Structure 1
Amino acid sequence: MNHDEFAFFNQQLAAMLRDGIPLEGALRQLCAGMSTGPLRAELQQLEADLARGTPLKDALARRDLPDFYRRMVEIGVRGNDLPGVLILLADHYHRANALSTRLKGLMVYPLLVIIVSLGLTLMLSIVFSRFLPEMFSGTEFGHRGLDPFFMVASMWLPPVLLAITAALVIGAISIPSWRAKLRWRLPAFREASLAQLASALALMLKNGTTLAEALALAEALESATPAAKTLAEWRRLVECGRGKPSQWIAGERPIPPLFLWLVQQSGENLAAGFQKASEIYQARASYRIELALYGALPISLLLLGQMIFWQIFPMLRNMVWLMNMLGSFGG
């Protein structure tokens, strides 16, 4: 789902509801102006269900929308402040889109380097592995230190390693379970995940959700990640009567002690504490993304140059040796 488009949709929907337009009519008008895509299809189905008299909760349950979004809309309806909740949701998804866009930009340089390196090393391997063994086979130089097998193996090793790396990167991007776990372990991605988690908890608490319910929903949303264990422990402590964050245990992974300390400093206003944690970790994520972007390109170019040098060095060494031998024979 395009979070930026989703955020804009919620802003427009909130404005139309505040102007007195019924929910079904507002959805119909907004869908008419949206580009064709999965989000528009889901919203059109939602509008059709509501027009048939389906309760909003049941209509939302049938749609492929984020669980957090469905829960927050239900809270807004229950509190008779759906436009206000939609505005908060729009801000939440706008921040999520900003972080997601910068994280995707962070992955561009390494991915491009892997693709270019794989293509270049594969081309060199195919070209050199064909004529070099034939060039040196049958000569007396092969008995004096020239190893065609070593040359061919050294040329094919870089593309094989790059192909394995590319497969792992593609798996990390495309396999949901890998992606969910890695985003809580990699720098910048971890801070972005902490910022989004804190923002979601703050949003729920601001709209009247109890702490136990908010933690339970956050645990469900992060069920495939290492954060679920910590959230489950906090929820258990709340249900046992230890509802103050000062009574919770700070862990090292994946939620650091600083996160809990920021929440504890808010005292009784937990929503403000989680909001503060969200702002700080969003700033830290942005800083780490900028730092990585400035370092990713030169480091990637150095790795590419090292890979190419490693591939052609045996050939150059043997070519120099061959020229020296020819010079000695001529003398």
Structure 2
Amino acid sequence: MTQAALPGTFAYRAQTRDGVALSGTIEARDVEEASLRLKSLQLHIIEIEPSCRPLPKPRAIGGDDFLMLNQQLAQLTAAGLPVDRGLRLIAQDIGSGRLAATVRQIAEELEKGKPLEQAFAAHQSQFPGMYWRLIEAGVRSNNLPGILFGLSRHLELVGRLKSAMWRSFSYPLMVLAGLCVVIMFLGWYVLPQVQESFAELQRMAAGFQVAGGAVGLPWATRLLMFVSRWLPLLLVVFLAVVVLWPLLALALRRSGGDRVLVDRLALPLPVVGPVLKANLLAGWCNALRLGVEAGLDLPAAIGLAGDASRSPALAEDGRRLTGALEAGATLEAIGPGGVMPATVPAAIALGMTSGDLPTTLAGLSEMYQRQAENRLALLPGILTPLLLLLIAGFVGLVLAGVLQPLAALMRFTTLFG
């Protein structure tokens, strides 16, 4: 028994004018409508038939894919191309996959007359939470390309910071992993032999006292053996975290707990925290500028910036600003918040007074961006000395743990020789 075709879904194979082969699915009422839509895209249809496979369940679009989509959409809309036509071209350029399927679905909804912001809002689970609101703001201000270009700059900044952060931490992590391997090797193969030799010598020197106490393994050796016994368990836990991290990260993202963890655990850190805070403030100021330029009033733009930052602590600071504005208080009097320093509301107040708030916010965003990148550039200079001290401590422990019992063995051999 054959599987029933999915109503309104048609699989096709076609060619472009340049002879490039394309295949995929398209939604339509019937084959004729599907053919007309494909021909409107200047495609030569080779084969089209009802699809027997349901469309895959949409998933969230990855960061690189979303950045590419946003940049292409900004370029095409800036060139004056209609959004639905631009999305069709983007889908053709992508070819296949879940991103192309999502873009085609949005284009089809636009062709049916659905407003742009509503079409993206219907797929908001596949985009960053603030994206459809930025689209709506861009449509309202008649400056969609400017909004999209500004968002692209912010996403590129975030990507550079994440990449630089990983480069800064990858070397220390690899060195620590190497040290753990050395310690486990010593604890499993070298120190047990030293312990056996030491026990044999103790049996030979039964009753011998040194400095008023019984002879035993030095403390450094015992500590090294203790650490080596627990390292395999720590390694198993680490591997389990690495394997389960994608599922845990997905669950945290869906519940919003990932940002809470960042605010509570990462921001207070002495070395990494300032970089993350500066990055959050740069993104918040940039999103606030986008909202103001899009024609939103300041409280609505502050809410948009809070959504864009995805930081509960920074969103709470934004609500403090909104509350002060609604109460008629001056922003200069607002003290520092959980993430936001007092200089930000003071600068916003000055920008409002001068009538050039977007320029002020752009300057703030650029300033915090430079701070984040400068502090990030200092991370290797801070982490390297700390790592050297840590390495020196481990090496000292290894040397003391190995050489102290050997020195004791040599001393006892001399005494009983």
Matched, 1:208 2:295: yes
Structure 1 stretch displaced more, 275-284 or 291-300:
291-300
- Partner residue in 1 for 2:10: none
Q: How does 1:1-331 map to 2 (within 5 A)?
A: 3=63, 6-34=66-94, 39-63=99-123, 64-140=126-202, 144-147=214-217, 151-157=221-227, 160=230, 163=234, 174=249, 176=258, 177-185=260-268, 186-221=273-308, 225-242=312-329, 244-246=330-332, 248-251=333-336, 253-266=338-351, 267=353, 268-330=355-417
- The C-alpha deviation readout for 1:30-50, integer Å capped at 9, x for no partner, is 233338666555434433433
Point out which structure has higher relative CO (alpha carbons under 8 A, 6+ apart). Answer: 1
Q: Flag structure 2 segments of 5+ consecutive residues without an equivalent.
A: 1-60, 209-213, 253-257
Report the Cα distance in structure 1 between the residues aligned to 2:229 and 2:165, rounded to whole angstroms: 27
More strand by share: 2
User: How far apart are 1:198 and its partner, in Å?
Assistant: 1.2
User: How far apart are 1:282 and its partner, in Å?
Assistant: 1.0
Q: Contact 2:140–2:295 at 8 Å: present in 1 too? A: no
Report the Cα distance in structure 2 between the residues aligned to 1:158 and 1:257, rounded to whole angstroms: 49
- The C-alpha deviation readout for 1:31-72, integer Å capped at 9, x for no partner, is 333386665554344334334544323321232111222111
Q: Contact 1:114–1:166 at 8 Å: present in 2 too? A: no
Report the Cα distance in structure 1 between the residues aligned to 2:310 and 2:90, rounded to whole angstroms: 33
Query: Structure 2 counterpart of 1:257, which letter?
Result: A
Q: Flag structure 1 segments of 5+ consecutive residues without an equivalent.
A: none
User: How far apart are 1:297 and its partner, in Å?
Assistant: 3.1
Report the Cα distance in structure 1 between the residues aligned to 2:335 and 2:221, rounded to whole angstroms: 54
**Equivalent residues, number:** 326
Report the Cα distance in structure 1 between the residues aligned to 2:96 and 2:393, rounded to whole angstroms: 46
Closer, same or farther: CA 270–160 of 1 in aligned 2, 3 Å: farther
Closer, same or farther: CA 36–181 of 1 in aligned 2, 3 Å: farther
More helix by share: 1
Q: Contact 1:194–1:278 at 8 Å: present in 2 too? A: yes
- The C-alpha deviation readout for 1:283-314, integer Å capped at 9, x for no partner, is 11111111112332343243123223224412
- Which protein is bigger by CA-based radius of gyration? 2
User: How far apart are 1:106 and its partner, in Å?
Assistant: 2.6
- The C-alpha deviation readout for 1:55-95, integer Å capped at 9, x for no partner, is 32332123211122211111111223322322222222223
Closer, same or farther: CA 240–252 of 1 in aligned 2, 3 Å: closer
Report the Cα distance in structure 2 between the residues aligned to 1:133 and 1:35, rounded to whole angstroms: 65
Q: Contact 1:6–1:90 at 8 Å: present in 2 too? A: no
Query: Structure 2 counterpart of 1:308, which letter?
Result: V
Closer, same or farther: CA 45–278 of 1 in aligned 2, 3 Å: same
Query: Structure 2 counterpart of 1:214, which letter?
Result: A
SS of corresponding position for 1:67: coil
Query: Structure 1 counterpart of 2:369, which letter?
Result: Q
Closer, same or farther: CA 304–34 of 1 in aligned 2, 3 Å: farther
User: How far apart are 1:215 and its partner, in Å?
Assistant: 1.7
Q: Contact 1:263–1:277 at 8 Å: present in 2 too? A: no
Q: TM-score, normalised by structure 1?
A: 0.83
Query: Structure 2 counterpart of 1:245, which letter?
Result: L
Closer, same or farther: CA 252–15 of 1 in aligned 2, 3 Å: closer
Report the Cα distance in structure 1 between the residues aligned to 2:284 and 2:339, rounded to whole angstroms: 12
Q: TM-score, normalised by structure 2?
A: 0.67
Closer, same or farther: CA 209–308 of 1 in aligned 2, 3 Å: same
Structure 1 stretch displaced more, 47-56 or 303-312:
47-56
- The C-alpha deviation readout for 1:98-133, integer Å capped at 9, x for no partner, is 233223323323332333333332333222353333
